[in-house]
Amino acid sequence: MRVIRIPTTPLMLVSAFWASGLYAQTSAPFSSGDFYHLSLAELGQVEISIATGNSTPLDRAPATATVISASEIQAMGARNLNEVLETVPGLHVSLSSLSRLDSVYSIRGIHTGLNPQVLLMLNGVPVQYNAQGGRPTLFRLPVTSIDRVEVIRGPGSAVYGADAYAGVINVITKDAGAIDATRMGGGVGSFNTRDLWLQTASEWNDIGIALSVAYQESDGDDQRRVSTDLQSALDAALGTDVSLAPGALSTRYNLLDTHLALTSERVQFNLWNWYSRDAGVGAGAAQALDPAGRDDSNLWLGDLTYRFNSDTSVWDNSIRTSYFHYDQESQFVLLPPGTELLIGNDGNIDFQNPVGLVKFTDGYLGRPGGLAKDAQLDLVSIYNGWDLHRLRLAVGSRYQSIAPREQKNFGPGVIEGTESVVDGALTDVSHTPNVFLPDSSRTIRYLSIQDEWQLARALQFTAGIRHDDYSDFGTTTNPRMALVWTASNELTTKLLFASAFRAPSFTEQFSKNNPVSLGNPDLQPEQIDTAELSFAYSFAPDLIANLTLFEYRAKDMIEFIQDENSTTKTADNARDQDGRGFELELNWKPSSALYFSSSYSQQDARDAYTDSLIPDAPGQQLKANINWEFSPRWFVHGQLNWVGDRQRAATDLRADISDYTLVNVTLRRKKITPNLDVSLALRNLTDEDAREPSSGEIADDYPLESRSVWLELRYNFN
């Protein structure tokens, strides 16, 4: 059992000292409405629920938080969640070198290939692929159904449990109250990209019904080319010539996203289906170009919340049940047709103890997949009967399982390594000891308590703790404390401390029959302690600045460590990481027609033992956004995003990773006819050769999309 941990880093000690003398006050709730019609003071009153599990005004929330509304999303011309998140201060959307160019949400130097340290939720329900711990594979969420996005940078395990480690993202979808008309839209753009969407709402017997549907497809940018890959190195070593490099990354996609919401006075029901087919596999599952490879996913998520009490009761009791069903299958040409490989007696690649040289005439082929399920039940009680306290109690249970399946033309139970030639015939090893991952499951139970206490007129104290009990690795307990002090009408100070954990994934625990990575059932959860000190100062009603200082110690981080005298790596709690830095935000709104926001963030994250900088994570970021109504119903939105100071691993001798600056511009015309809106977006306006860091097999890093243009029409039927 892990006990509650008390931090000892310098900023945390300073934070504890300051905590003894602060004072705060509460604020009345405020609805977000149209973002660009609100003053900066009104924006601070926009309600956010992610910080505490209760609705709290943003400027008093005990967290470093950001809220992005639907009107902001439309103004910036974003088409998917990643483009929205890239505007959040201190958050960078990178690309995974481990999983087919999956998105990595890099926060404060916590930057890993599968990115399980950031919890994504949809309407408060986790969206996780338990095989790898992070989000579903090649996850791309259209923005059509999004009402707002809430983000906290920093831990959230005291409320949300596992994986709310570096940050938490809650996507809140539109219900009938958020859709005032039936709308339809569509767009076309570069790379043969096409979108079509519809949203509508109605009421039946006092039940609000909302439906959002979005279809998106693209061939991907064929100018995103790399010069070498893993097969290039194999060709050089074995005298073959079959690599597909130089060639383009495979970034096509084709998806259908459907959301249904039913709401009444006491009941909220959400049903979501995300169906992706024939998605390109980026640089290839083995970092060898694979234009024929594909990924197919079918995700269902349903949640039902029932509220027991009326608005006049001092108790607000609710129960929620949710069910996550994710069926995923990939078809990989791991290495191209004609590849020749040294194979061991287990049928896997083995350069140290081979038993034969095998030619794979149709390629080194794998078809892994599986069905992941996640069922959850939560009971939440909020007591409002005291003048100075709001008490939140929560208890719940969760069951996660995965049933993997696999077909392949290599590995144990398929070949022995003595064959001279292997063709493309696949052997089904599902439900046998030779599959890549056994059927796995776990049960989680938790109990949490949180008190929001009005210590004085100007001082609010929030304290909470959550205890989780896992059937596979044991228990973990995570506290949080926060003080929000309104020193004056101009200055608000927040002092925050929180602990969090990240549970090992099924792959990290039980992976087997893999030529590269093996699981370790003895893994313990990753742990982190974070302290933050934040200042919000209003220089004038139209000019507000926010400064957040942070420091953390991450412990027992899981990495795959090279096994002695073997080609494999085994998962282990191998690394501790120390990080510190700051995030500075400036918001200026001189009129309702002009809004400017900017942020600069800097972080220094290092290995606690070697003191070397954490590779790939941006050391600095600069972001700027402007929205201007320069003529009635004409809007222009500009974005600038500079990413810099990314380091290579100490063992990586390649040249430094280049900084880059991206510029996006969106021009909108509202009501070009009474019911029609038009927008034109240019992304990467300067055609910057922007790249995200790759593994060593892709020597010249992963290029981002080149300049693109996007035209969209929106039609209002009411």
The predicted-structure confidence for 216-248, as pLDDT tens digits, reads as follows 999 999 999 999 999 999 999 999 999 999 999
Give the number of domains in the chain: 1
SS3 track for 232-263: HHHHHHHCCCCCCCCEECECCEEEEEEEEEEE
What does the pLDDT look like over 416-474, one tens digit per residue?
A: 999 999 999 999 999 999 999 999 999 999 999 999 999 998 999 999 999 999 999 99
Nearest-angstrom CA–CA distance, 162 and 639: 34
Using only C-alpha atoms, what is the Rg of the chain?
26
Query: Domain residues for 663?
Result: 10-716
16-20, 41-45, 360-364: lowest mean pLDDT where?
A: 16-20
Instruction: Check whether the bond before 246 is cis (ω within 30° of 0).
Output: yes
Instruction: Tell me how long the chain is.
Output: 718
Tokens for 4, please give them.
Answer: 């509650």
Burial (CB count within 10 angstroms: exposed 0-12, middle 13-18, buried 19+), residue 81 = buried
Q: Which residues contact 695 (CB under 8 A, 6 or more apart)?
A: 97, 98, 287
The answer to whether residue 580 sits within a structural domain is: yes
Q: What is the mean pLDDT of residues 644-670?
A: 94
What distance lies between CA 301 and its chain's CA centroid?
Answer: 17
- Asked, for residue 67, whether it belongs to a domain, the answer is yes
Yes or no: say if 172 and 269 are a contact pair by the CB < 8 Å rule: no
The better pLDDT of the pair 718, 260 is held by 260
Q: Categorize the per-residue pLDDT at 14 as very low, low, confident or very high, splitting at 50, 70 and 90.
A: very low
Across 33-42, 85-94, 176-185, least confident range:
33-42
Q: Using the predicted structure, report yes or no on whether residue 696 has a pLDDT greater than 70.
A: yes
- For residues 622 and 644, give the distance between their C-alpha atoms in angstroms, rounded to a whole number: 9
Q: What is the mean pLDDT of residues 361-379?
A: 97
Mean pLDDT of 331-358: 93
On the question of pLDDT at 16 being above 60, the answer is no
CA geometry: angle 165, 569, 433, nearest 5 deg: 100
**Cβ atoms of residues 476 and 447 within 8 Å:** no
What distance in Å separates the CA atoms of residue 304 and residue 699, rounded to the nearest whole number? 48
Strand 474-486 with 491-502, pairing: antiparallel
User: Can you list the positions of beta strands (E) in 457-568?
Assistant: 459-470, 474-486, 491-502, 517-518, 526-540, 543-562
- Confidence at residue 58, expressed as pLDDT on a 0 to 100 scale: 78
**Res 8 pLDDT > 80:** no
Provide the 10 A C-beta neighbour count for residue 499: 24
Q: Which residue type does 481 have?
A: M
Q: How far apart are CA 501 and CA 91, in angstroms?
A: 19
Strands 459-470, 440-456: parallel, antiparallel or unpaired by DSSP? Answer: antiparallel
Helix (H) or strand (E) holding 82: helix 81-85
The edge-to-edge listing of strands for the beta sheet with 65-69 is: 65-69, 146-153, 167-173, 118-122, 125-126
**Tens digit of each residue's pLDDT (9 = 90 or more) over 584-598:** 999 999 998 999 999
Residue 488 CB neighbours (<10 A): 10
**Residue 689, SS3 per DSSP:** coil
Please tell me whether residue 266 adopts helix, strand or coil conformation.
coil
How far is Cα 37 from Cα 377, in angstroms, rounded to an integer?
Answer: 39
| 674 close to 715: Cβ distance less than 8 angstroms | no
Taking CA 61 as the corner, what is the angle to CA 59 and CA 64, rounded to the nearest 5 degrees? 85
Beta bridge pairs of residue 152: 65, 168
Given this model, what pLDDT does residue 563 score?
A: 83
Per-residue pLDDT for 185 more than 80? yes
Instruction: Write a three-state SS string for 590-608.
Output: EECCEEEEEEEEEEEEEEC
How far is the CA of 56 from the CAs of 384, 390, 449, in angstroms?
Answer: 14, 12, 17
The tokens describing 422, both together, are 């292997």
Q: Considering the entire predicted model, what is its pTM?
A: 0.93
Phi-psi region of 515 (alpha: psi -120 to 50; beta: other; left: phi over 0): alpha
Residue 99 falls within a domain, yes or no? yes
| Residue 214 in domain | yes
Q: What is the mean pLDDT of residues 269-274?
A: 98
- Alpha-carbon gap, residue 319 to 268, rounded angstroms: 11
| Assigned token pair, 194 | 């096409």
Q: Could you tell me if residue 1 is inside a domain?
A: no
How far apart (Å, rounded) are the C-alpha atoms in residues 701 and 691?
A: 6
Q: Is the pLDDT of residue 4 over 90?
A: no
| Contact (CB, 8 A) for 688 and 660 | yes
Query: What is the rounded distance in angstroms from the CA atom of residue 338 to the CA atom of residue 701?
Result: 26
Specify the range with the lowest mean pLDDT, choosing from 5-19, 96-110, 154-168, 381-395.
Answer: 5-19
Q: Is residue 280 part of a domain?
A: yes
How far apart CA 584 and CA 567 sit, in angstroms, is 45
CB-based contact 554:528 (threshold 8 Å): yes
**Which of 305-319, 351-365, 518-532, 676-690 is predicted with the least confidence, judged by mean pLDDT?**
305-319
By DSSP bridging, strand 691-692 and strand 702-703 are antiparallel
Which residue is it, tokens 């992005």?
68
First to last CA, the chain: 59
Q: What is the CATH number of the domain that holds 546?
A: 2.40.170.20
pLDDT tens digit sequence for 402-415: 999 999 999 999 99
Tokens of 100: 């087919």
Q: Is residue 105 part of a domain?
A: yes
Residue 3: exposure state from Cβ atoms within 10 A (0-12, 13-18, ≥19):
exposed
Whether the Cβ atoms of residue 690 and residue 701 lie closer than 8 Å to each other:
no
Do the Cβ atoms of 388 and 453 come closer than 8 Å? yes
Q: Which of 448, 398, 465, 495 minimizes the C-alpha distance to 3?
A: 465
The rounded percent of the chain whose pLDDT value lies above 90 is: 82
Token pair 């049903």 is found at: 271
Beta-carbon count within 10 A of 148 CB: 23
Does the pLDDT of residue 567 top 70, yes or no? no
Report d(CA 584, CA 548) in Å as an integer: 7
Tokens read off for 253: 């996609």
Find residue 322's DSSP bridge partners: 303, 376
Rounded CA separation 71/37 (Å): 10
- Please report whether residue 676 resides in a domain: yes
Tell me what percent of the chain is helix, strand and coil, each rounded to the nearest 5.
10, 55, 40
The predicted pLDDT at position 40 comes to: 66
| Burial label, 50 (beta-carbon count in 10 A; 0-12, 13-18, 19+) | buried
Say how far apart CA 607 and CA 613 lie, in whole Å: 6
Single-letter residue type at 204: W
Q: Write out 342-390 in H/E/C secondary structure.
A: EECCCCCECCCCCCEEEEECCCEEEEEEEEEEEEEEEEEEEECCCCCEE
pLDDT, residue 38, reads 67
Tokens of 97: 């070198």
Q: What backbone phi and psi angles, to 5 degrees, belong to 230?
A: -60, -40
